[in-house]
Chain A
């Protein structure tokens, strides 16, 4: 009864609000239009290359080697295996280095020391350096000074430098997302800082690290510019046999074919682009899947 009389006594609430519906709607349309530009571009791109490359989207694409004289029978096998070789070695070089560097910066370096701030600014800047510059560096240091020539190793080392800043930055973010109280709990049990970092913080951050690592590797897979500078333009009709072997990669092969004016090569290039896009999309989806699966653990 008292509740009822209370309701009667209260003036009706005014929930109408005083927004500007027109402006509001215009803004939402703008946002939607911006989104559409991105999605439509990707869709058109995929549709275009798929239709154009369709005649060659069959198993000869990965069973056959590139050929200059017989475009109708040429394939991209050496580019596929070359990409796998290069990216595997890139991962071998860049992952441990990047993760350990991030672990040091995040868990062991004195926070906000001048050294740490200096390193931080440098890493941010490195992440913004154009990839072609890494090509110049790789050419001078790995190909010439270290005499590694035009090999899988040279390409992998160069691409490692390219993605190292990205791996460090994303790993640091993943480490920072691990709650402080996990570290405190470990240290309070008499664990050393190294035990805490290697047995608690790092394992807890692995999903986040994996996401960053896959995205950075997919960036390396798609890079052509630095490799072109390293001299990877020649026609390679064999699969790499070791780290010092010559190589070609998918972006390089696509570049070579699109330079050729013959229609068959244009079709072949489109088919190979589809292959490359599928590889990159799969990598990105795996990264997103890992991220979503492990979201909100704390």
Chain B
């Protein structure tokens, strides 16, 4: 196969991608961030971020390591609450409700906003029990067998595991484990799925399966994905936000949002020099 330039790879990924008909305007808003700042103790990891996330779209967060993508993603479902000293300021509204409002129960937030992690973190239980765990702890009624089958089917894993549901989830390959984690996530019927580098530990074939799956899931769910893989962002996302870490006046490094827009536009006609440098591989 002839060596392709990064630009050519990206543009072919873009034509394959799904961001063709995406407009600048977002009509159906799921999340509104306004001047969102995240701290670890005294250290401010993210400077004010303002953006909106659209329903049933795939939004990609890209940027160099340490620019706060994971930090920002974890603040969407209040996973940052679990880190001692982590603190969020500014507005993060989910359908108009402040996620960090005084009456909000983080448990309820996490039920509606699911999360898939970088390393497939299946539970040391059977495949069946992995999927059934979320509905059980949330006391979701109904036929569990049907629910497990439905979720595994949606996660494109049913055919591979339908005869081994009682087997340990550890017996699965990394790519299968990650799809099991996705099935487990959708079993509690969330509206949003957050994915933090879901393919970082997978081989190319497993990666393309997950990407394919993401596109299918976007019909029903709103997906926010962090990725280091430019082509992946170009292939699967509708919108892309580019972050970077920059020194402030006092010489402290903070993550900040540089540019946000339809993926096609970010990759083919970036407005900012830093975005352009990053996606063409001259930076980070």
Contact = CB atoms under 8 A, between A and B. Distances in A.
Q: Do A and B bind each other?
A: yes
Greatest chain A CB density within 10 A among B110, B114, B124, B184 is at: B124
Contact of B188 (A182, A190, A204): A190
A189 B79 CA distance: 11
Contact of A189 (B108, B119, B134, B170): B134
A182 B123 contact: yes
Contacts of A179: 121
Nearest to B82: A187
A181 B137 contact: no
B121 A182 contact: yes
B124 A297 contact: yes
B39 interface: no
Contacts of B110: 187-190
**Interface size class for chain B?**
20 to 34
B144 to A, nearest CB: 15
B101 interface: no
Contacts of B138: 189-191
Nearest to B124: A204
Contacts of B117: 181, 184-185, 188
B181 interface: yes
A182 B124 contact: yes
A115 to B, nearest CB: 15
B231 to A, nearest CB: 27
A190 B107 contact: yes
A67 B170 CA distance: 57
B130 to A, nearest CB: 9
A190 B181 contact: no
Contacts of A204: 123-124
Contacts of B108: 190
A185 B123 contact: yes
A298 B122 CA distance: 10
A97 interface: no
Interface in A150-166: none
Contacts of B122: 185
A186 B121 CA distance: 10
Contacts of A187: 79, 82, 110
Contact of B114 (A184, A189, A200, A298): A189
Interface string B151-189: 000000000000000000010000000000100110010
A188 B111 CA distance: 7
Interface string B103-145: 0000110110011010101111000000001100110000000
A111 interface: yes
Contacts of B188: 189-190
Given A190-B137, A192-B137, A297-B124, A181 B111 contact: no
A256 interface: no
A96 to B, nearest CB: 23
A182 B121 CA distance: 6
A112 B170 CA distance: 33
A122 interface: no
Contacts of B124: 182, 203-204, 297-298
Interface of A: 110-111, 179, 181-182, 184-192, 195, 199-200, 203-204, 297-298
Q: Rank and list the top 5 A-B pairs by shortest CB-CB distance, nearest first.
A: A190-B111, A181-B121, A189-B134, A188-B115, A191-B137
Interface of B: 77, 79, 82, 84, 107-108, 110-111, 114-115, 117, 119, 121-124, 133-134, 137-138, 170, 181, 184-185, 188
